[in-house]
Each structure stands twice: as structure tokens, then as C-alpha cells.
């Protein structure tokens, strides 16, 4: 049921043009490359190779699925299924160790949590693969099955380079329980995997440009670290509260919660405000840890009314957050109503020929990546981390939304007018959506 809810949310957002080239378009181009059994290149970011910014070889698993159904919606459904799977081990743990009401509370605290909702409602991200792995790992750890917990955690290093630090934290937890050799080996593996990814593999695949996020997440020294960690303390505290609230803060009573520290440490020490916020997908991998910690804490509360109160409190606290985050869109009539502008956009998009080379506004990119070679049009932000966008003037077709706001859309109207003066012909315009074709007769 949760997977269906997440899939409906993602697909409807895509239809309403809420998704973007950053990030759904990028991941579709990666999946498209893997579907041809090739190391993917990403036209959106000037043909960068797969690991130019993150080390995520697990994305190769998308290749066979995308080969069968080559559409952006395929990724959104795959993400929904991965996120939905994460609830299974948590519900089973709650049922086996606490009882039926705890199972319901765990399902709500996980499935309707802001961390999972924002991941389901914000394009596609590789972190979706980490969520079920983390859920199976922490539930095994909660059952004191440390070897199983470690084995489920090891593939996390194939999802994203920073997750090696979480694997190391799991190793430290296992070591503290007396499994010294297993714990040390796990910690060494996690730290080594992160170091290898950041220092060797990603720079090599990025053409020697180094780790593109080094400046964003790497304080220059202890003083800089303290300054960055203390910046926007209120926002960072809000992020922690939003993560813990669906468990009515019961997760604070379990040592399993310590496993969130590596992710919060790199996020809160980063010089990038989006990492500090609860409004993106970064909390998703932490939700299984928090819910497992809450279940562990519930199991230590005497059976009866005191325990039941904590379960009801968790359900109520999760419900309290629902109107604020992405899942609330599902009950808003406007979310299901296609506006004249959206209808116009789809009509204009249909004019772009399959197999063409096209530059598009950010939120139009993932409407085209499955059937064209697509990249971003206009001024946008990735150059700040070392990426240079394709020269959109080399496109055969250009489609823009001149009314689109945001960092990815700056200067669209003026840049489009410049194209019309230099070899492009306006084909159609409707509700601010403009489509132009290169004039092949011009010199």
C-alpha cells in the first residue's frame, strides 16, 4: 500500500511538471545508459560520467528495468517500491518484540514520516536503494543478530560514498557489544570504502577534477567545523525534531539512534543550506534507524497502558506533521486538476521529435529525457561545484517556460529571444511555453 501511495505521488507530480532535470532527468539518463549495458554519460551535465559527483554503482540495477519500460515514471515507481519495502522488517520487528499496536505505530512512523514522504515526493535519488538495506540492517541489529546486521549494511557503500561512514558506525556498535573482530573489520571496511570513493574512484571518473563536493562538505579545520556546525542552528534543530517526532521522541532511549550521527555530522558541517533542511530527501536513510530505535525503546517499556500510550503518541505526532510535507498533496484538489498551462506544456512538448537534440527548461527536461538527447537551457547552478552545462546553442530544438522561477531557470526569456536572432525559428508558443527549431537553411 505504501509503495502505491508513493508511486501515485511521484507520477502525478511528474505529470504536473513538478519534477526536474535536476534530479529526475539526470537519473533517467543514467538508467538509460545502463539499459544499453554502457557506462552512462549524462548530457545534462556536459556528458559527465556516472560517478563524476557521487559513487553509486548500485544504479546499474535500474538498467534492466528501464530497458523494459524506458520512461521517467519507471524510476519513480522503482523508488516507490524500494521505499515501501523498508517498512516490512520494521513492522515485523515491532510485531515480534512488542505487539500489534507497536506494529501499526511503526508502520505509520515510517511510512508517513516526513523523511520518507520528501524522498517519494522529490524526483528520484539513489538513496532509495539505501533505505531498505538500512531497514534490514538495523532491525537485525535490534534483534542482536550482529553478523546479519553487518551483511545487510555492507552494500550501502555501493549506494553513495558517504554511507561508508554509517557502515563504520555500525561496526563501532558491533564492537561495543563484544564482537571485536567483526566490529573492527566492518568499521575499517566502511571508512576505507568512503576514502577510496572520494579520493580515488570519483576523481578518476571525473577526469581528474577531484571530488566535486569537497568544498561543500569539507571544513578546512576545527575552527571552521565549529563555525559551520553552529550556523543556522535553529534550522538544524528543526531537522532533528522533525526526524524524531514521528516516534514521539522514544527513539532517544535506544543506542541504535547513534547510527544517525555520521549522516548528520557531514550534513550539518556542510556549507550548503539544503543539507540542513528536512525538506529534501536526505533524511530518508535515517528514518529506518529512528523507527528501529523507537521499537527497541518500546520493547523496554512495561506492557500495558504505558507502552500503548507511546504507540498512540507516535501515531498522533506523525499525523501532526502530515499537512506540512509532501503526502498532503494527495488530498488537495488542485494537485489533481490539470491547469491550462500544464495542458499547453504537454501539447508543446509533443511537438519535439523523438531522437532529437533538445535544450529545455529544468522542469521540462524529464519530460523529454526518455526519447531525446536532453540538456538544460539557461543559467543554472551546477557550475558552482565544477560542472559546466552543455552549450545549449548546439541544440536542434529549444523549449522553455519563460515564466519558470528558480536557480535553474534564470534568463530564459532573454536567452530565448537571442536564439531567435541567431538561426532559430519559433515553432509554437502557448501559455509561456516556447518551442524553437534550428533553421537548417541559415549559414
In tens, the pLDDT along 256-301 reads 999 999 999 999 988 888 898 998 899 999 999 999 999 999 999 9
Flag the least confident range among 194-198, 208-212, 322-326. Answer: 208-212
Residue 420 pLDDT level (bands cut at 50, 70, 90): confident
pLDDT of 102 higher than 80: yes
- Asked if the structure places residue 443 within a domain, the reply is no
pLDDT the model gives residue 233: 87
Decide: residue 71, CB within 10 A, 0-12 exposed, 13-18 middle, 19+ buried.
middle
Tell whether 325 and 365 lie within a shared domain.
no
Tell whether 216 and 292 lie within a shared domain.
yes
- Asked if the structure places residue 135 within a domain, the reply is yes
Tell whether 291 and 434 lie within a shared domain.
no
Domain end marker among 287, 305, 331: 331
Q: In whole angstroms, what is the distance from residue 391 CA to residue 223 CA?
A: 40
Domain end marker among 285, 308, 331: 331
pLDDT the model gives residue 15: 96
pLDDT the model gives residue 37: 87
Supply the range of the domain harboring residue 385. Answer: 340-438
Tell whether 385 and 327 lie within a shared domain.
no
Phi, psi of 401 (to 5 degrees): -110, 105
Residue 388 pLDDT level (bands cut at 50, 70, 90): very low
What is Dmax (Cα atoms) for the chain? Answer: 83
pLDDT of 383 higher than 50: no
pTM exceeds 0.85 for this model? yes
pLDDT the model gives residue 407: 47
Residue 177 pLDDT level (bands cut at 50, 70, 90): very high
Highest averaged pLDDT of the listed ranges 17-31, 70-84, 260-274? 70-84
CA separation, residue 12 to residues 335, 430, 439 (Å): 8, 22, 35
Q: In whole angstroms, what is the distance from residue 13 CA to residue 25 CA?
A: 14
The percentage of residues in the chain with a pLDDT greater than 70, rounded to a whole number, is 87
pLDDT of 40 higher than 90: no
DSSP secondary structure, 57-77, as one string: GGGGGHHHHHHHS-SHHHHHH
Tell whether 231 and 158 lie within a shared domain.
yes
- Asked if the structure places residue 363 within a domain, the reply is yes
Tell whether 305 and 352 lie within a shared domain.
no
Q: What is the mean pLDDT of residues 403-423?
A: 69
Tell whether 317 and 427 lie within a shared domain.
no
pLDDT the model gives residue 254: 97
- Asked if the structure places residue 173 within a domain, the reply is yes
The total domain count for the chain is 2
Flag the least confident range among 234-238, 335-339, 399-403. Answer: 399-403
pLDDT the model gives residue 318: 97
Decide: residue 304, CB within 10 A, 0-12 exposed, 13-18 middle, 19+ buried.
exposed
Domain end marker among 331, 353, 381: 331
pLDDT the model gives residue 87: 98
pLDDT of 124 higher than 50: yes
pLDDT of 50 higher than 80: no
Residue 212 pLDDT level (bands cut at 50, 70, 90): low
pLDDT of 408 higher than 60: no
Long-range contacts, stretch 174-182, CB < 8 angstroms, 24+ apart: 174/141, 174/146, 174/149, 174/150, 177/144, 177/146, 179/146, 179/147, 182/146, 182/147, 182/150
Three-class DSSP category at 159:
coil
Tell whether 320 and 344 lie within a shared domain.
no
pLDDT of 24 higher than 70: yes
Decide: residue 207, CB within 10 A, 0-12 exposed, 13-18 middle, 19+ buried.
exposed
Tell whether 195 and 264 lie within a shared domain.
yes
Of residues 382 and 225, the one with the higher pLDDT is 225
Q: What is the mean pLDDT of residues 169-196?
A: 97
Tell whether 252 and 367 lie within a shared domain.
no
Give the mean pLDDT of the chain: 89
Q: What is the mean pLDDT of residues 305-330?
A: 94
Q: What is the mean pLDDT of residues 219-226?
A: 58
Q: What is the mean pLDDT of residues 345-366?
A: 94
First to last CA, the chain: 58
What are the beta bridge partners of residue 435?
399, 428
Residue 119 pLDDT level (bands cut at 50, 70, 90): very high
Amino acid at each position: 500500500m505504501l509503495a502505491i501511495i508513493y508511486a501515485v505521488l511521484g507520477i502525478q507530480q511528474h505529470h504536473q511538471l513538478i519534477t526536474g532535470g535536476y534530479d529526475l532527468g539526470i537519473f533517467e539518463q543514467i538508467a538509460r545508459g545502463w539499459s544499453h549495458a554502457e557506462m552512462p554519460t549524462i548530457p545534462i551535465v556536459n556528458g559527465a560520467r556516472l560517478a563524476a559527483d557521487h559513487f553509486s554503482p548500485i544504479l546499474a540495477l535500474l538498467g534492466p528495468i528501464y530497458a523494459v519500460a524506458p520512461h521517467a515514471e519507471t524510476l519513480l515507481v522503482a523508488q516507490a517500491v524500494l521505499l515501501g519495502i523498508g517498512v516490512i522488517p520494521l513492522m515485523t520487528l515491532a510485531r515480534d518484540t512488542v505487539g500489534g499496536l507497536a506494529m501499526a505505530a511503526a508502520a505509520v512512523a515510517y511510512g508517513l514520516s516526513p523523511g520518507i514522504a520528501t524522498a517519494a515526493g522529490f524526483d528520484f535519488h539513489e538513496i532509495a536503494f539505501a533505505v531498505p538495506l538500512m531497514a534490514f540492517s538495523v532491525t537485525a541489529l535490534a534483534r542482536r543478530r550482529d553478523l546479519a546486521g553487518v551483511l545487510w549494511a555492507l552494500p550501502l557503500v555501493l549506494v553513495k560514498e558517504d554511507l561508508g561512514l554509517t557502515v563504520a558506525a555500525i561496526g563501532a556498535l558491533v564492537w561495543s557489544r563484544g564482537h571485536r573482530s567483526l566490529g573492527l573489520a566492518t568499521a575499517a571496511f566502511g571508512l576505507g570504502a568512503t576514502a577510496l570513493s572520494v579520493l580515488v574512484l570519483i576523481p578518476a571518473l571525473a577526469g581528474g577534477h577531484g571530488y566535486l563536493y569537497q568544498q561543500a562538505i569539507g571544513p578546512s579545520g576545527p575552527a571552521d567545523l565549529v563555525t559551520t556546525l553552529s550556523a543556522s542552528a535553529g534550522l538544524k534543530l528543526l531537522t532533528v525534531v522533525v526526524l524524531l517526532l514521528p516516534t514521539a521522541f522514544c527513539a532517544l532511549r535506544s543506542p541504535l539512534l547513534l547510527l544517525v550521527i555520521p549522516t548528520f555530522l557531514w550534513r550539518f558541517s556542510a556549507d550548503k543550506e539544503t543539507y540542513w533542511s528536512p525538506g529534501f530527501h536526505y533524511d530518508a536513510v535515517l528514518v529506518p534507524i529512528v523507527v528501529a530505535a523507537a521499537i527497541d525503546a518500546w520493547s523496554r517499556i512495561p506492557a500495558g497502558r504505558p507502552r500503548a500510550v507511546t504507540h498512540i503518541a507516535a501515531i498522533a505526532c506523525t499525523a501532526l506533521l502530515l499537512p506540512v510535507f509532501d503526502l498532503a498533496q494527495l488530498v488537495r484538489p488542485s494537485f489533481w486538476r490539470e491547469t491550462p498551462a500544464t495542458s499547453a506544456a504537454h501539447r508543446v512538448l509533443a511537438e519535439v521529435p523523438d531522437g532529437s537534440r533538445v535544450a529545455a527548461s529544468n522542469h521540462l527536461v524529464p519530460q523529454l529525457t526518455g526519447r531525446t538527447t536532453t540538456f538544460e537551457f539557461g543559467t543554472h547552478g551546477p557550475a558552482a561545484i565544477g560542472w559546466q552545462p552543455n552549450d545549449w546553442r548546439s541544440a536542434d530544438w529549444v523549449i522553455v517556460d519563460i515564466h519558470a522561477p528558480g536557480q535553474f531557470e534564470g534568463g530564459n526569456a532573454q536567452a530565448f529571444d537571442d536564439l531567435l536572432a541567431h538561426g532559430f525559428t519559433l515553432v509554437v508558443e502557448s501559455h509561456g511555453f516556447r518551442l524553437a527549431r534550428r533553421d537548417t537553411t541559415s549559414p
